[in-house]
Amino acid sequence: MKTLTTDVAIIGAGPVGLFQIFELGLQGLSTVVIDSLPEIGGQCSELYPDKPIYDIPALPNAKASEVIDNLWQQAAIFDPTFLLAERVEHIEKVSEHSFIVTTHKQTQIHCRAVVIAAGNGAFSPVKLKLPLIDKFEDTQLFYRISNIEHFRDKNVVVLGGGDSALDWSLTLQKTAKSVLLIHRSSNFKAAKSSVNKMYELCEQVKMQFLCGQVSSFQEEENKLTGLTITSKDGVNRRVELDELVVLFGMSPKHGPIDNWQLEMHQHQIKVDTQSFQTSVTGIYAVGDINYYPGKRKLILSGFHEAALAAFSIAETVLEKDRIPTLYTTTSPLVHQRMGVEHTLEEMLN
Ligand code: FAD
């Protein structure tokens, strides 16, 4: 079991979780950030990385991925620790200022406060709905590729029609024995250039494409050996395989959040708007996951919430009545925390 110790655990590395790192850093507090996705950025990275956002203050037109890059650049100076591809399952309150946050991989984060920046829930892969197929998960059935070498010289079937399915099919065909892409129709969500490349490779007999849906699977001696594919006209075809990669996309799942015994309002966590604290002292919620009268699910709102939550956390953890507002422009203490160098002239002024 891995154990980490920090001032504050942040659950969720979406835009608001990333800004929370920065705001807590300004208060001199260290952070560990946990996200179920293998990369940072939440909805911005997962759902619309190439779409421009027009309502981030001082960034009139920036792609969602650029907003995330900028947020990361701003937060990185405080050197947060990231636990990616880990889903938080439990939050245990040990005492007034002591919590243990536990992930599905049994990593434990010991901290003095918790910020939930969990958006609409943990992003998880959309699963193949076939009774009993899940017993092959992580041995022959994969929803994410982390080690491409596992597929070398194997007969691989890839399911899906989005960018991931197409990109991975094109990549895997270079080293796998064979790649068969299966999608329910010949309309793809993926970029046209990838689809054209896939058809080109099929013509060169370097991979294959089949239109249809998986209706059952075959196994021998506890090994997945094949799938039955039913086409639109009802014809069944059997395909043999060594490995199955399912890339149907990601969807957010509330999952564990509902069990954390926090006061909720229609699947959103109730907070007070002074501190963004939840019904449990020491646990805060910011961004899309929280609820208060007038709440708007906008990145801009999340930034404001993260700033006030950081002040409140600092006051609680450091047991101070009120932390003064310090300007990043002029405060030597903030500059020291940020590692900002001063010229001699600035110091004399
Ligand atoms: P999210 O971005 O949802 O990130 C939450 C993260 O928490 C996720 O990565 C998730 O995997 C993780 N997580 C959740 N539960 C757990 C757990 N138990 N363990 C580990 N990790 C967990 N907003 C604007 O302001 N302007 C726009 O123009 C705009 N355009 C949009 C366009 C689209 C198509 C969509 C879908 C949304 C748009 N939004 C826009 C909304 C904006 O994306 C959200 O308000 C914002 O992403 C919320 O940020 P967040 O950090 O609160 O949550």
Tens-digit pLDDT profile for residues 42-74 = 999 988 888 999 999 999 999 999 999 999 999
Q: Does the structure show a pLDDT above 60 at 142?
A: yes
Q: Is the pLDDT of residue 347 over 80?
A: no
Q: Find out whether 232 and 223 touch, Cβ atoms under 8 Å.
A: no
Instruction: Judge contact between 198 and 181, C-beta under 8 A.
Output: yes
Q: What share of the chain is helix, strand, coil (3-state, %, to 5)?
A: 30, 30, 40
* pTM (predicted TM-score): 0.85
Q: Cα-flanking dihedrals φ and ψ of residue 42, to 5°?
A: 55, -135
| pLDDT tens digits, one per residue of 18-50 | 999 999 999 999 999 999 998 999 999 988 888
When pLDDT is averaged across residues 271-299 and rounded to a whole number, the result is 97
Q: Is the CB of 298 under 6 A from ligand 1?
A: yes
Give CA separation, 20 vs 137, 218, 275, in Å.
Answer: 35, 48, 13
Q: pLDDT grade, residue 343 (50/70/90)?
A: low
Q: Cα separations (Å) of 349 from 329, 330, 332, 337, 342? A: 13, 11, 12, 20, 11
Average pLDDT over residues 140-145: 93
What spacing in Å lies between the alpha carbon of 46 and ligand 1's midpoint?
9
Would the CB of 80 count as within 6 Å of ligand 1?
no
pLDDT of residue 349: 60
What is the residue with the minimal CA distance to atom 15 of ligand 1?
Answer: 122
88 within 8 A of 100, measured Cβ to Cβ: no
For ligand 1, say whether the CB of 14 is within 6 Å of any of its atoms.
yes
End-to-end CA distance of the chain: 51
Q: What is the pLDDT of residue 97?
A: 92
How many angstroms does the Cα of residue 20 sit away from the middle of ligand 1?
A: 14
d(CA 292, CA 272): 7
> In the predicted model, is pLDDT for residue 149 greater than 90?
yes
Averaged confidence pLDDT in the chain:
94
Q: How far is the CA of 282 from the centre of ligand 1 (A)?
A: 23
Closest-CA residue, ligand 1 atom 9, reads 42
Q: Taking Cα atoms as reference points, which of 219, 87, 215, 194 lies closest to residue 141?
A: 219
From the alpha carbon of 34, which atom of ligand 1 is closest? Answer: 20
Q: Is the CB of 254 under 6 A from ligand 1?
A: no
CA of 321 to the centre of ligand 1 (A): 33
Distance CA 256, CA 107 (A): 16
Q: How far is the CA of 302 from the centre of ligand 1 (A)?
A: 10
